[in-house]
Amino acid sequence: MKAKTLFDKIWGQHIVKENDDGSVLLYIDRHLVHEVTSPQAFEGLRLAGRKPWRVNASVATPDHNVPTTERDKGITDPVSRTQVETLDSNCEEFGITEFGLDDIRQGVVHVMGPEQGLILPGMTVVCGDSHTSTHGAFGSIAMGIGTSEVEHVLATQCLIQKKPKVMRINVNGARPNGITGKDIALFIIGKVGTAGGTGYALEFAGEAIRSLSMEGRMTLCNMAIEAGARCGMIAVDDVTIDYVNGRPYAPSGEIWEQAEAAWRQLHSDDHANFDKELNFQAKDIVPQVSWGTSPEMELPITESVPDPLDARDEVQREGWSRALQYMGLQAGTPLQDINIDKVFIGSCTNGRIEDFREAAAMVKGKHVAKNVKLALAVPGSGLVKQQAETEGLDTIFREAGFEWREPGCSMCLAMNADRLEPRERCASTSNRNFEGRQGMGGRTHLVSPAMAAAAAIAGHFVDIRDWH
């Protein structure tokens, strides 16, 4: 039998029909829904008189718009409130399970899904959100889609797709201390660029990847989209199986045993053929910080802000110059000399329990620096919040001068009240440093939770490997 990649195995299992032009009708096992990209899709169903094809395939939760303070007062912004209420009424009308604002399971859709066992190895997973790539961490094909495709999946449980090429990225050797999934993600994006993965499904492999927890793997796959990839994925192993076992929506008993046997096959075969393969050494990775307005504009914490004169071509030089101007940075400034105004720990990238444990370990017994106006710790879900509180992490954050908030997307994209003011500089565990992403004129530096937490205490970026 021909050796297959992980991607090819799952893709092959989901082909409903092959079309003449090379595209396929691909079956979708799981569809996650949130309030921002679904209202027009539900409206489309209504106008066409259609019903969801398989109602239990979709699960919804509000996340982008929700307030992270004073939940009991509801949503004060009327436009946001309408959108969340529209999700509630659409889910009720069409019979879709929703974890609403008053449910402890509510949270960032990409934190909630895995936590509930809604994401299983070998699945095809979609959501009207680019960071759906997160779920590839389970050895699944997980893709972000637009609203028209949300409607298409609701109506047909399928998508018309062209098979992407497959690229394996190996990170070889042991993962050095202090190097997280986030650092690996930023490192890779810095190397391949934000369009380096365009047209590809990425498989992350190698010793350093296998040593990551599920949280770390989700962080890495989450950012596959920032490399332009259609999806990112990691082979199933004991870490995957152990994480899924016992979750509310995971199978149990005899069916679990059948499922596990099938999941154990979800890895690329020896000698499988990849369209492209890249190799990196884990020992070359140090804690990363982004300096510009694209996730590829990132450097090791030991470096300085680059000079546009060193750019590879005119288009990049123009991009770097514009980024330095927007970020208010001078070429040649050591990254460790950059002072920050705000700190954000959370998001679908880094809003899981391990992220808060790592951040809490940095701030325990210390206090945020005087120049830091606001330090936010925003759990990715109600259950992450509850777990953190059980472990006393909320107290550690509060005593260090952090605000401990309710779950949601928060300042990752600032659709709610949590945002940067013009020219404010933020150490953020989120995924995008685009202009205006965290608020108009706001300046975002992407880092790991430990790096963000240490920056909060120091008031500027530090190398956590030699920081006390």
Partner 1 sequence: MQAFTKLNGLVAPMDRANVDTDAIIPKQFLKSIKRTGYGPFLFDEWRYEDHGEPGMDCTNRPKRADFVLNKQRYQGAEILLARENFGCGSSREHAPWAILDFGFSCVIAPSFADIFFNNCFKNGILPIVLDDLVMDQLFKACVKHEGYRLDVDLEQQTVTTPGGESFHFEVDTFRKHCLLNGLDDIALTLTQTDVICSYENERRKSASWLF
Subset of 11-50 contacting partner 1 (CB under 8 A): 13, 16-17, 19-21, 23, 25, 27, 29, 36-37, 39-40, 43-44, 48, 50
Stated as kind and residue range, the H or E segment containing 452 is: helix 449-458
Report the site for partner 1 in 425-464 (rule: CB under 8 A): 432, 434-437, 440
Residue 196, token pair as written in the block: 């380096």
Smallest gap from Cβ 207 to partner 1, in A, equals 30
Q: Identify residues 184-213 at the interface with partner 1 (CB under 8 A).
A: 194-195, 198-199
Task: Name the one range near partner 1 by CB under 8 A: 80-88, 181-189, 357-365, 376-384.
Answer: 80-88
Identify which of residues 148 and 333 has a Cβ nearer to partner 1 in the complex. Answer: 148
Of 8 and 129, CB closest to partner 1 = 129
Read out DSSP for 361-422?
Answer: HHHTT----TT--EEEE--SBHHHHHHHHHTTHHHHHHHTT-EE--SSSGGGTT-SS--PPT
Q: Is 80 strand, coil or helix?
A: helix
Contact criterion met (CB below 8 Å) for 84 and 35: yes
The size of the interface with partner 1 (CB under 8 A), counted in residues, is 78
Q: Helices (DSSP H) in 223-352: which residue ranges?
A: 238-244, 253-263, 314-327, 347-350
User: Residue 423 Cβ, how far from partner 1 at the closest point, in Å?
Assistant: 14
Closest CA relative to residue 107, chosen from 34, 55, 40: 34
Residues 289-318 that bind partner 1 (CB under 8 A): 294, 315-316, 318
Name which of 172 and 198 has its Cβ closer to partner 1. 198
Q: How far apart are CA 305 and CA 229, in angstroms?
A: 27
* Four-point Cα dihedral 419, 421, 424, 429, nearest 10: 10
Which helix (H) or strand (E) element contains residue 220? helix 214-222
User: What is the chain's Cα-based Rg?
Assistant: 21
Q: Which of residues 325-384 bind partner 1 (CB under 8 A)?
A: none
Q: Could you tell me how far CA 43 lies from the centroid of its own chain?
A: 28
Show Cβ contacts of residue 89 under 8 Å, excluding neighbours closer than 6 positions: none
CB-nearer residue toward partner 1: 47 or 270: 47
Q: Shortest gap between Cβ of 157 and partner 1 (angstroms)?
A: 7
Tell me if 215 contacts partner 1 by CB under 8 A.
no
Task: Estimate to the nearest angstrom the gap between the alpha carbon of 93 and the chain centroid.
Answer: 30
Q: Closer CB to partner 1, residue 262 or residue 331?
A: 262
Q: Which of residues 60-79 bind partner 1 (CB under 8 A)?
A: 64-65, 77, 79
Q: CA 6, CA 276: separation in Å to the nearest integer?
A: 14
Q: Smallest distance, Å, CB 187 to partner 1?
A: 19
Of 140 and 170, which CB lies nearer to partner 1 in the complex structure? 140
Range 126-185, binding partner 1 (CB under 8 A): 128-130, 132, 144-149, 151-152, 155-158, 160, 162, 164
Nearer to partner 1, 79 or 370 (CB): 79
- Of 6 and 158, nearer to partner 1 (C-beta) is 158
Strands 158-161 and 24-27: antiparallel
CB of 244 to partner 1, least distance (A): 10
Among 83, 106, 134, 430, binds partner 1 (CB under 8 A): 83
Minimum distance between the CB of residue 77 and partner 1, rounded to whole angstroms? 8
* Subset of residues 392 to 421 that bind partner 1, contact rule: CB under 8 A: 413-415
Taking the complex as a whole, the smallest distance from the CB of residue 392 to partner 1 amounts, in Å, to: 34
Among residues 23 and 213, whose Cβ is nearest to partner 1?
23
**CA distance linking residue 143 with residue 339, whole number of Å:** 36
Cα separation values, 103 from 89, 128, 382, 404, Å: 16, 22, 8, 18
Q: Can you tell me which of 3, 104, 174, 255 binds partner 1, judged by CB under 8 A? A: 255
Please identify, using beta-carbon distances, which residue of 56 and 339 lies nearer to partner 1: 56
Closest separation in Å from C-beta 4 to partner 1: 17
Residues 228-247 that bind partner 1 (CB under 8 A): 228, 230
Contact between 41 and 128 under an 8 Å Cβ cutoff? The reply is: yes
